[in-house]
Amino acid sequence: MSINYLLLWFVGISAASTAIRSFTQPEKVPRGWRSLAVLTLGLLGLSSYFFYPYAGYVVAAFWGSFVFLPRWCVALLQHFLQQGNLRYARELAQFAALLSSSPEWSELSTILQESGDDSPLPQAREVFPKTQLARSALLSTYTSRGDWTGLVRWIEKVCTRQRLVSDAVLLSLYIRSLAELGRFEEALSLFEQNTQTFLRSSDPEHLFHAFLTLFAFCGQEDGVQVLLAHPLKGLPEEVKKLWLATTKLVVDEQFSANDVLVSLTHSNHAGIATVAEERLSARVPRVLSSFEPGTLDRVARLKHFLADILNAQAKDVDAHSPRGVTFLIGLTCVAYIVQEVLGVWLGERAPYQLAALVPILVTEYGQWWRVLTCLFLHGGLLHLGMNMLGLWILGPFVEQVFGTIRFIGAYLLFGLGASLFVVFLTEIGWLKDAYLIGASGAVLGLIGATAAILLREAKNNNHAAKEQLRSVVFILVLQAAFDLTTPQVSFQAHLGGVICGFIVTWFATKPKASLQAS
């Protein structure tokens, strides 16, 4: 089995499933993808016939370029909007709208058509964008120009109060706009009244941006430093400098702030350059001395609120950290290193002769350690990498259900079940000359475990679990097809792992509410 072979399989399955869905669920497949999928399958067949050793790389590059094109288009669109280049953004939206049936790009293209190459979008636009992409693009056209007055007017004109306080993105930008215009107390009250909107949001970054706005425009440099060092540490350095300079202006440290702001006026990011110029010309709407003591007390309480949120997040991350998965991956990699070292000292085949699963050596000579040691032997870096990738993807969800210690035991038990299943089939004569190495039986056990967890949730009318269970079944069908058509892959070990994983998990775990496999 080679990388070329794996790529052919993955691309073939992906293109074939897309083509099938384009007929069975045409509303869910963007237009043009049916033809693209068929073209990819044709290219796969021709390249496999004429230059098989490179066919997988060719079709993977062709298919992958289109699969990842939407993400690339979104990233490029954001870049153009940040630079204030509406013409390029409009042309990109038109191009993407031709390739995709998604209403996002069609709506975005229509919105951008209303603007000239350098002119802003009509502030009087009264239609609230239906899609998230169009909304984000429209909001970016205001923020990239620093048009906070226009943004406030647009939000107040097209958004109902209910829509505003239920959308974390809009609410965060509205709070910043109010602060930029000197309406700090109004922004602070809006935040205090609607913290639940941010806490319910799937992206906590909007909450932290709102905190950043309030702390910066109230001169709380320590709060800004905490945000930029931890939850918002991924922000570009220029953005961090802008917020710190803003904080210094509020506390009347103009000299140190001006040097930073002058350098930021040359930024390629239109929004940063525009805001830096505004800060230099108009300073900031309010300075610290203009705030009432009561306002500063409210901001101080927000610092304690932020500390509580960060502590809760740290505990949650710690509780859900896949320690068991990390331990097993590390243990398997160490075992592979030991295997390679022993191969150099004792001969290349020595590790396999000592630890691989050979059923007759188990049953006739009592070498039962092989049913477990075989899990830690691998036939090369590709074999090791594929199994550890599977463990990394599938393991965290199962570990969340079992707990770390029980998960490690369950994983080893899944691998043991796969090995014993092969031994059993050999004993009854259904399998001959079996020779087994690798952790794939245990990894497939994780799929069986996931199926058991989702089936139990589906029986409790969890619709998300039902959808995910269908995906798991589809994966198992594909895995079976791959096993049966690929030499040197043990379908029997994988089947044993799946069965063992399902049975052990079904009886060893209890139902847990609201679990979703990622």
CA–CA dist 35, 29 (Å, integer):
11
Q: Is the pLDDT of residue 51 over 70?
A: yes
Is the separation of the CB atoms in 270 and 83 below 8 Å? yes
Q: Is the pLDDT of residue 514 over 50?
A: no
CA–CA dist 51, 391 (Å, integer):
33
pLDDT in tens, 129-146: 888 888 888 888 788 888
Active-site residue numbers?
440, 494
CA distances from 354 to 344, 345, 348, 367, 373 (A): 14, 14, 11, 9, 9
Residue range 252-264: mean pLDDT, rounded: 90
Strand partners, 357: 436
pLDDT in tens, 418-467: 999 999 999 998 888 788 999 999 999 999 999 999 999 888 888 888 88
CA–CA dist 192, 351 (Å, integer):
64
Q: Is the pLDDT of residue 361 over 90?
A: yes
CA–CA dist 238, 18 (Å, integer):
42
CA–CA dist 500, 505 (Å, integer):
8
Question: Which structure tokens are listed for 309?
Answer: 């949120």
Torsion angle in degrees (nearest 10) through CA of 139, 141, 144, 149: -70
**pLDDT score, position 198:** 92
All residues at 6 or more sequence positions from 232 whose CB lies less than 8 Å from its CB, including other chains: 205, 208, 209, 212
Architecture of domain 321-508: Up-down Bundle (1.20)
Where does 146-320 sit in CATH, by number?
A: 1.25.40
CA–CA dist 8, 385 (Å, integer):
18
End-to-end CA distance of the chain: 28
User: Beta-carbon neighbour count of residue 515 at 10 Å?
Assistant: 17
Give, as one character, the DSSP assignment of residue 436: B
Report the predicted TM-score, pTM, of the whole model to 2 decimal places: 0.71
Equal CATH topology for 146-320 and 321-508 = no
Annotate 344-374 with three-state secondary structure: HHHCCCHHHHHHCECHHHHHCCCCCCHHHHH
What are the extents of the domains in the chain? 3-67, 146-320, 321-508
